Structures are given as structure tokens and as C-alpha cells.
Amino acid sequence: MAQESLFEQLKHPNPNLRERAIWQLVETRDEETIPRLMSVLDQEDTTYRRAAVKALGAIGVDSVPPVVDSLLNSDNVTVRGSCAKALAQVAANYPEVPFPTEGIEALKTTLLDPNPVIYIASAMALGVVGVPALDSLLEVINETDNLGLAVAMINAISSIDDERSKEMLTNLANDESADTYIRESATGALSRLDMLKFKS
């Protein structure tokens, strides 16, 4: 019964109650919890869907395999976008836990999805994963002709405090042959990266 009421609370308009329900779900979860949360990802109710994404992220790496499976194989754009966001939540909640390689590989694959909902969420998630995902971002940004994707990846790279991030963004900002918008985005991203260094 407890799980039932917690799932009901994930729909609650009060964000504090939703947050409490999420962490109670994590503490009391059983083998049904992850599949049930996965089944919420195609719901019309945005609040409920977002709470399920956060709950999957709160569970951590155990939720990565089913999330990756749906990210790669679902034919529902909303589900796939939610899966990318759930992977970002896992990385954000457990920065000290090595992020599963299968998660990084899946997000790298979905960077090339034609749908902006998917590729923007995937780029953001890789940015949250951080240094372990940097190679994937650097590889794809060198190959893409998609402006929207390039800008999403520039933003993701600017959140990863690493010399390679700085080098990549500097090269893009100074690349005479690159699109003006890309160069401007890279210049803005460099100043954000500098602010990260200033904070850390």
C-alpha cells in the first residue's frame, strides 16, 4: 500500500511533498518500483512524469539499464527525452559514483537523433556526467553539421571543468570558417567555463 500512496504523491502539486515521496520511494523500493516509474514516462501529466524522472535519478545506477533501453528503443519522443533527463539526474545525484559506460554510450548515440528534444536532453545529460563524457561530446561536435546540436554540445562542454573543454571552445571561438552563431556560442561558453574555475 505504501508504494501506491507514494506514486499518488508524485502527482501532487506541492513540490515538497513530491520530493519527499521520491526519496521515500527510493528507501522502500522493491522490484516493481523501477518498472512502474518507467511506465509513467509516457504520461500526459507533466508533473507526474517529471517526478518519475527525478525518482529514477534518485534511485541511481540501478535504474540506468532500463532507462538506457527505453532511451534507445522507445518510439515515444517524450519517453526518450525523459530517459535522457533521468540519466542526467543519476549523474547529478551521485557524482561520486562512476557513471555507467552504457549510459554514456547511449547518450552519445542519441546526440545524433533527428529530434531536438532528444539531442538537446542528451547533450545536457552528458554535460552533467562531466569529464567521463567529455570524449563523446568532443568527438560528435567535430563531426556534426547540425547547428542546434552543436550549440547544445557547446553548452554541455562549458559545464565540464577540463583543459580539453577550454581548448575545444577556444578553437571554435577562433575558427574563421565556423558559423558565426557557433563562434559566438563558444565565446560565451568560454566565459562560463572561466567562472567555473573561479568557483572551484
- Averaged pLDDT, 105-134: 97
Average pLDDT estimate for 74-81:
97
Q: Is the pTM of this model over 0.85?
A: yes
Structural domain span for residue 123: 2-199
CATH number at residue 133: 1.25.10.10
Q: How many domains does the chain have?
A: 1
- How confident is the model over 57-66, as pLDDT tens digits? 999 999 999 9
What's residue 196's pLDDT?
Answer: 77
What is the average pLDDT value for the chain, to the nearest integer? 95
Average pLDDT over residues 29-40: 96
Q: Is the pLDDT of residue 1 over 70?
A: no
3-class SS string, the chain: CHHHHHHHHCCCCCHHHHHHHHHHHHHHCCCCHHHHHHHHCCCCCHHHHHHHHHHHHHHCHHHHHHHHHHHHHCCCHHHHHHHHHHHHHHHHHCCCCCCCHHHHHHHHHHCCCCCHHHHHHHHHHHHHHCHHHHHHHHHHHHHCCCHHHHHHHHHHHCCCCCHHHHHHHHHHHCCCCCCHHHHHHHHHHHHHHHHHHHHC
